[in-house]
């Protein structure tokens, strides 16, 4: 399957560079380019890409607003957003994930990491850069905005004990392989539990499942080590 990517960045030269890189891969293609968030939303509705590679700081409608609009549109449920930005702050990561982004990378990543990130997000996994580490996942959810709750805690009752266990490990930042090793099951089994939990809780992807895990109280955020 070819991964269809929409580029959203106000720097034309950077978009051109990304296009060359992505189009050089047999399993990827760029379907459009946007210079701001409003264009990104319009082009996403037109092309229905698999992934929008989204910058945060753009003129007019910024990347966070565009991400929120894309992720809130039921007709764009199959489209995932990967944030790529110079401004990799805790606040931006928090807002991006709450808006529904499936991943977050800094612009200092290598070409190989960017391409691997696109493939990771396309497969339904969440992606956080080394800067936005597991510690950050726990930190920004210690005091989530009340209106940001994605699922009420009582919905956790619909999950099986194993689904809750897998969800908890995913919320700690563990990959499917790491979870499989911890539970002595196959990665495919882990993936099945993840998808069942997503379906039951109405999460569009793994990133939202992580948010729900903390907001519902399934996992408690812990202070970072000094």
pLDDT band at 66 (very low <50, low <70, confident <90, very high): very high
| CA atoms of 157 and 160, how far apart (whole Å) | 8
Q: Which long-range contacts (CB under 8 A, 24 or more apart) does 220-223 make?
A: 221/138, 221/139, 221/141, 221/142, 222/138, 223/139
Residues in the chain: 226
- Per-residue pLDDT of 157-175, as tens digits, reads 889 999 999 998 887 777 7
| CA 218 to centroid of chain Cα atoms | 20
Contact yes or no for 184/173 (Cβ under 8 A): no
- Per-residue pLDDT of 93-139, as tens digits, reads 767 777 788 888 878 888 998 998 899 888 877 665 444 444 445 45
Question: Architecture of 147-215 per CATH?
Answer: Orthogonal Bundle (1.10)
| CA atoms of 107 and 111, how far apart (whole Å) | 10
Between residues 152 and 4, which one has the greater pLDDT?
A: 4
**Domains in the chain: boundaries:** 3-132, 147-215
The yes/no answer on whether domain 3-132 falls in CATH 3.40.50.2300 is yes
- pTM for the model stands at 0.68
| Most confident by average pLDDT, 5-19, 73-87, 117-131 | 5-19
**DSSP per position, 126-174:** -EE-SSS-HHHHHHHTSS--GGG--S-GGGGGGS-HHHHHHHHHHHTT-
């Amino acid at each position: 399957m070819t991964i269809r990517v929409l580029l959203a960045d106000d720097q034309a030269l950077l978009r051109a560079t990304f296009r060359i890189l992505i189009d050089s891969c047999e399993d990827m293609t760029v379907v459009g380019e946007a210079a701001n968030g409003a264009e990104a939303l319009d082009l996403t509705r037109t092309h229905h890409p698999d992934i929008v590679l989204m910058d945060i700081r753009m003129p007019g409608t910024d990347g966070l607003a565009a991400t929120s609009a894309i992720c809130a549109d039921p007709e764009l449920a199959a489209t995932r957003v990967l944030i790529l930005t110079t401004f990799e702050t805790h606040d931006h990561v928090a807002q991006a994930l709450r808006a529904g982004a499936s991943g977050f990378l800094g612009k200092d990543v290598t070409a190989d990491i960017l391409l691997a990130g696109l493939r990771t997000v396309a497969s339904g996994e969440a992606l956080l850069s080394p800067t936005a580490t597991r510690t950050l996942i726990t930190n920004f959810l210690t005091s989530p905005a009340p209106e940001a709750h994605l699922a009420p805690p009582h919905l956790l009752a619909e999950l099986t004990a194993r689904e809750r266990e897998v969800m908890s490990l995913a919320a700690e930042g563990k990959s499917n392989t790491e979870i499989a090793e911890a539970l002595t099951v196959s990665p495919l089994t882990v993936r099945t539990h993840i998808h069942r939990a997503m379906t039951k809780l109405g999460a569009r992807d793994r990133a939202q499942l992580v948010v729900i895990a903390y907001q519902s109280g399934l996992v408690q955020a812990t202070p970072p080590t000094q």
